[in-house]
Amino acid sequence: MSYIDTTTAGNMSMATLNPNVAPQQSRWHVFATVGELEDAAIAHILAAAHEAIATRGAFHLVLAGGTTPRYVYEALRAEQADWRNWHIYFGDERCLPPQHPERNSRMATVAWLAHVPIPAAQIHAIPAELGAEEAAQAYAETLKNVPHFDLVLLGLGEDGHTASLFPMQEWERAISWPPVLPVHDAPKPPPDRVSLSPDRLSASRATLFLISGTAKADAVRDWRDGVAIPASRVSAQGQVDIYLDSEVAREAGMN
């Protein structure tokens, strides 16, 4: 694994337009293979859980959708952890029935959550089947008692989106957001979604992006060049770690 560090000074042009969210401080980690990236992500999550439970008695984790996270979730179910103190949330969700295979909550349940003894009351799916507006309001109520997450997992789309924060949509023109956003006219199906807002995602002690696939290279290059893509609008109380495989890093001109 090679390691590249990019601090706030290198990313000032990517500072969020919302003055309530700090500029993103990011560390970039390049792994030789996707498998090594996944192993590092598992270790990162487990270490964060151990620290949070030892310090505060609970671990509040936000999950991402996507292929790379799914492999991480499948591997996590074989790990030993203090599952009874884990609390699970979701960064975004598609407005589909709860059992639909394209729901992020369904994917995480099948891959991981159904196989470990996290109490059901501590798994907080977004009720996106209610429709975007009603689900956003309901999930904002759920999150009222969680001032800070311990770790947020995120991915990156080819267009630079993360969660369901797509570029060139209304949320980008706002200087403040509610905790949870209804999303309509998403450029990827389904058009109706629910997403945590940038500042709610940023209310976390740490953030971890998992990025694989050369199709993401242009978005990575823009991000590192200071273009304010949606992913650059998410910060954290502490560090933002970005894990990439070597192929996407090479295509982005990083090695």
Whole-angstrom distance, CA of residue 65 vs CA of residue 194: 13
Reported as a pLDDT band with limits 50, 70 and 90, residue 20 is: very low
253 part of a folded domain: no
What is the tally of structural domains in the chain? Answer: 1
Tell me if 62 is assigned to some domain.
yes
Q: What whole-number distance in Å separates Cα of residue 92 and Cα of residue 95?
A: 10
13: pLDDT strictly greater than 50: no
DSSP E strands in 64-147: the ranges are: 86-90, 92-94
pLDDT digits (tens, 9 = 90+) for 53-66: 999 999 999 999 99
Whole-prediction pTM: 0.92
Task: Provide mean pLDDT across the span 120-127.
Answer: 98
CA distance 70 to 83: 18
Q: Determine phi and psi for 43, rounding to 5 degrees.
A: -60, -40
**Residue 81 within a domain:** yes
- Quick one: 168 exposed, middle or buried, by C-beta within 10 A (0-12, 13-18, 19+)? exposed
pLDDT-derived band at 214 (thresholds 50, 70, 90) equals very high
Under 8 Å between Cβ of 211 and 247: no
* 166, 193 contact by CB (below 8 A): no
Give the pLDDT confidence of 142-156 residue by residue, as tens digits.
Answer: 999 999 999 999 999
Assess whether pLDDT exceeds 90 at residue 44: yes
Q: How many angstroms from the chain centroid is the CA of residue 242?
A: 11
| pLDDT tens-place string over residues 163-210 | 999 998 888 888 789 999 999 999 999 999 999 999 999 999 999 999
Give the range of the structural domain holding residue 196, as residue numbers without chain letter: 2-8+31-244
Residue 165 lies in a domain: yes
What's the rounded Cα separation, in Å, for the pair 86 and 58? Answer: 6
CA R_g for the chain: 17
Distance CA 5, CA 133 (A): 39
pLDDT range class, residue 49, cuts 50, 70, 90: very high
**The domain spanning residue 51 has which CATH number?**
3.40.50.1360
Distance CA 210, CA 204 (A): 16
Does residue 252 fall inside a structural domain? no
Q: What is the pLDDT of residues 84-99, one digit of tens each?
A: 999 999 999 999 999 9
